[in-house]
Homo-oligomer: A and B are copies of this chain.
């Protein structure tokens, strides 16, 4: 499941933040002077000393910017050259699900196709002990039956502007923390000026580790309603064992609809449907939002991930998996309430395991070391670049500093020690009260004006909150806080006093009024005064904890983030000089376009066929979870054409966040729906291996065949332009 944090159950997003988010923070916005304008001798993109592009000959590697797409390269490789109009259409028909997925507009009435696992949080939130849509599936027979997804936000990218020069001007002559602060302030100013209302979302995106800054302007949709979702047992057929594997037999699809003023929206640009779908060898494009990659990190940063970040996160997630598995075994309702979180944890676990394995592969790591050595040698040999030579060592030193504050930073500020949705709400309310008093550009960036609509959507969400589950997660994470920092840490003593972690969790969850979205709204809108007057135990708790959280964040920003940002910018410059623009930036959960083709690979010497058939799912079914088919499929079997293609794999370069991305052909028609990568794609975090890295998608023919024969979902089918 290559989404960012799956559908990002808050508590779990927080738990994962420690590795994923933390790592992303390392490479967050760093200002840069546009390298192409640097006039050093032989430093132009085609200078004689330029290094070979790090992208292998004949590889489909690349998560390309829509405004810097290598159309010529595709033309020479596949005989088709996308035009600007083609690219614009693809951009406008692609959407982002703000909590961590991708999707596509597939009808003029705002119908959006994405994965089941991208809508699963919504499906679970709309369920109750009596009606479990995860188990039964969901289909709105009429428009009236479409139900709003609490907290789901869809973004459509309407404009990209290069603001590199503006950011650079604001940071000229500054270094480290001052430099990082100025970047944040200027970024906030640009975003605020752009975001003229709640219906506009603006993000300044740092590309190439700070080599470029682009302003992404989105149309923001916050009324999104569930239209169709199949049963989990077919949407995630094979469960965790089959996750990130291929061959595969899964209908990981769902449809939601964008509403505006309580009506389905009307949109001119959308993807039509391919009649035939793809066959082996066909050219494929994937347009979606890869969340984060670490291909441009230095060796010191990769080593930190390999030795500290990933192992610690993996152990924490493994333990949580055990806790959730046993909690779910308590009873049907516990299983229902915790099921989606368990899927999220297992998905992350498998993905991060794969990342760690890539980094401990000696040959792979050596190739990274070699590449860095080559670039450093290039820098040291070029008098115009010699000022950048210290950048790698500076970043390495910052990693050592990071290691020292890593436990406190992840546990306290990144909240791995404070799981649970309620706790997250409390922290948001406490910080918002302090931050919103300040001018926009002085706030913590996540409380900038341009971020408020998303904050409100989460805070005011009507998604149900389950006490027993909240206590479980909060108790488990508070126990971890004590374990990681130690029972004698002054902060731990302050937090726990003489209370056991689970006891404290129960007191807080049972005592708080924040379960009611109205109570949260009142506190948010009441501002600092309302918050200071609140006697809610969870608010009091979050207020008591916040100063230490801010302190460790400041420490992180000064000793780690600031240093990494300014030095990453230097390395980014050197890379532009060495490679020109023949490379793409690391993923940033913004729209990218990948090209490739339907193609298998060789596993242990055996060829893997790139397409599976519907027949295969019946062969694989055992009747027992996670290989049990839903009744609808068992009943429909006689009506199905078992030779219909079901899933396929292709050479497109994708990663977590791409879940729900459309696969389109050269006519920009839907031929598939990305939902996974194969096991070799997990190393894609650090580099693309053209021999074995494959994206995995549901075939367009299977989608319509199932909608028709299994689900009789005629309303959905009628909208698709086939």
The reply to whether A360 and B307 contact each other, CB–CB distance below 8 Å, is yes
Q: A240-B483, A499-B624 are in contact. Are A356 and B322 (CB under 8 A)?
A: no
Is A51 in contact with chain B by the CB < 8 A criterion?
Answer: no
The reply to whether A241 and B482 contact each other, CB–CB distance below 8 Å, is yes
Is A147 in contact with chain B by the CB < 8 A criterion?
Answer: no
Q: A487-B241, A487-B627, A622-B498 are in contact. Are A322 and B318 (CB under 8 A)?
A: yes
Is A58 in contact with chain B by the CB < 8 A criterion?
Answer: no
Q: Which of A308-316, A426-434, A606-614 contacts B (4 or more CB under 8 A)?
A: A308-316
Copies in the complex: 2
Interface residue tally for chain A (C-beta within 8 Å): 40
Q: A240-B483, A500-B625 are in contact. Are A316 and B314 (CB under 8 A)?
A: no
A582 proximity list for chain B (CB < 8 A) = none
Query: CB-CB contacts of A620-647 with B at 8 A, as 1s and 0s?
Result: 0011110100000000000000000000
The A296-313 residues at the B interface (CB cut-off 8 A) are 307-308, 311
Bound complex: CA A330 to CA B330 (Å): 8
Is A326 in contact with chain B by the CB < 8 A criterion?
Answer: yes
The reply to whether A326 and B318 contact each other, CB–CB distance below 8 Å, is no
Bound complex: CA A318 to CA B321 (Å): 9
Q: Which of B245, B353, B476, B487 contacts A242 (CB 8 A)?
A: B487
Is A618 in contact with chain B by the CB < 8 A criterion?
Answer: no
Instruction: State the majority secondary structure of interface residues on A.
Output: helix
The reply to whether A311 and B356 contact each other, CB–CB distance below 8 Å, is yes
A241 proximity list for chain B (CB < 8 A) = 482-483, 486-487
The A315-353 residues at the B interface (CB cut-off 8 A) are 315-316, 318-327, 330, 353
Is A503 in contact with chain B by the CB < 8 A criterion?
Answer: yes
Is A31 in contact with chain B by the CB < 8 A criterion?
Answer: no
Is A291 in contact with chain B by the CB < 8 A criterion?
Answer: no
Bound complex: CA A624 to CA B500 (Å): 6
Bound complex: CA A327 to CA B328 (Å): 11
With both beta carbons as reference points, the residue of chain B lying nearest to A312 in the complex is identified as: B353
Is A238 in contact with chain B by the CB < 8 A criterion?
Answer: yes
A625 proximity list for chain B (CB < 8 A) = 500
The reply to whether B503 and A624 contact each other, CB–CB distance below 8 Å, is yes
Query: CB-CB contacts of A12-50 with B at 8 A, as 1s and 0s?
Result: 000000000000000000000000000000000000000
The A464-490 residues at the B interface (CB cut-off 8 A) are 472, 476, 482-483, 486-487
Bound complex: CA A487 to CA B619 (Å): 14
Q: A483-B240, A487-B627 are in contact. Are A308 and B360 (CB under 8 A)?
A: yes
A476 proximity list for chain B (CB < 8 A) = 322, 325
Query: CB-CB contacts of A441-480 with B at 8 A, as 1s and 0s?
Result: 0000000000000000000000000000000100010000
Bound complex: CA A178 to CA B303 (Å): 41
A322 proximity list for chain B (CB < 8 A) = 318-326, 476
Q: A629 CB to closest chain B CB, in angstroms?
A: 13
A330 proximity list for chain B (CB < 8 A) = 330
Q: A475 CB to closest chain B CB, in angstroms?
A: 9
Given contacts A241-B487, A318-B318, A500-B624, 14 further A-B pairs with CB under 8 A are: A238-B487, A307-B360, A314-B315, A315-B353, A321-B322, A322-B322, A322-B323, A322-B324, A325-B476, A326-B326, A326-B327, A330-B330, A487-B627, A500-B625
10 nearest A-B pairs in the assembled complex, by CB-CB distance: A322-B322, A326-B326, A318-B318, A322-B323, A307-B360, A498-B622, A319-B322, A500-B624, A318-B319, A241-B487
Which residues of A pack against B, CB within 8 Å?
Answer: 238, 240-242, 245, 307-308, 311, 314-316, 318-327, 330, 353, 356, 360, 472, 476, 482-483, 486-487, 498-500, 503, 622-625, 627
A-B contact pairs, 27 of them (CB 8 A): A240-B483, A241-B482, A241-B487, A245-B486, A307-B360, A311-B311, A311-B356, A311-B360, A314-B315, A314-B318, A316-B318, A318-B318, A318-B319, A318-B322, A319-B319, A322-B324, A322-B476, A323-B323, A326-B326, A326-B327, A326-B472, A330-B330, A498-B623, A498-B624, A499-B622, A500-B624, A500-B625
